[in-house]
């Protein structure tokens, strides 16, 4: 599993231009969609999801969070 495919651009249209670190929003400004993690004893935070999207056809190349240093809530 290398990075060649990743570097060659969009898997759909072959485009090279991507908008990176785009945040996934919601219509009603109620916060953001993300992954939950424990912050302290009871507090739960949300790490926002980011996407890299092809600016030509809109294909999502990558879906990820930026900060992985969390204690993720898995249940
Ligand atoms: Zn594309």
Q: What is the pLDDT of residues 1-27, one digit of tens each?
A: 444 444 678 999 999 999 999 988 766
CA of 17 to the centre of ligand 1 (A): 8
Domain region containing 19: 4-72
- Structure-model confidence comparison of residues 30 and 1, the more confident one: 30
Which pLDDT does position 27 carry in this prediction?
A: 66
Task: Return the closest-CA partner of residue 37 out of 24, 29, 26, 46.
Answer: 46
Q: Report helix, strand and coil shares of the chain as percent, to nearest 5.
A: 5, 40, 55
Instruction: Compute how many other C-beta atoms are within 10 angstroms of the C-beta atom of residue 54.
Output: 20
pLDDT (mean) for 23-38: 76
CA of 70 to the centre of ligand 1 (A): 32
User: For residue 70, is pLDDT > 60?
Assistant: yes
CA of 56 to the centre of ligand 1 (A): 5
CA of 27 to the centre of ligand 1 (A): 24
> 21 Cβ partners below 8 Å, 6+ apart?
50, 52, 66
Structure tokens at 11: 């898997």
Portion of the chain with pLDDT greater than 90, in percent = 52
Query: Running DSSP on this structure, what letter comes out for residue 8?
Result: T
Tally of domains within the chain: 1
């Amino acid at each position: 599993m290398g990075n060649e495919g990743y570097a060659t651009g969009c898997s759909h249209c072959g485009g090279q231009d991507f908008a990176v670190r785009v945040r996934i929003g919601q219509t009603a400004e109620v916060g953001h969609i993300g992954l939950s993690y424990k912050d302290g004893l009871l507090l739960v935070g949300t790490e926002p999801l980011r996407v890299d999207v092809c600016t030509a056809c809109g294909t999502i190349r990558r879906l990820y969070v930026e900060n992985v240093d969390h204690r993720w809530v898995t249940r």
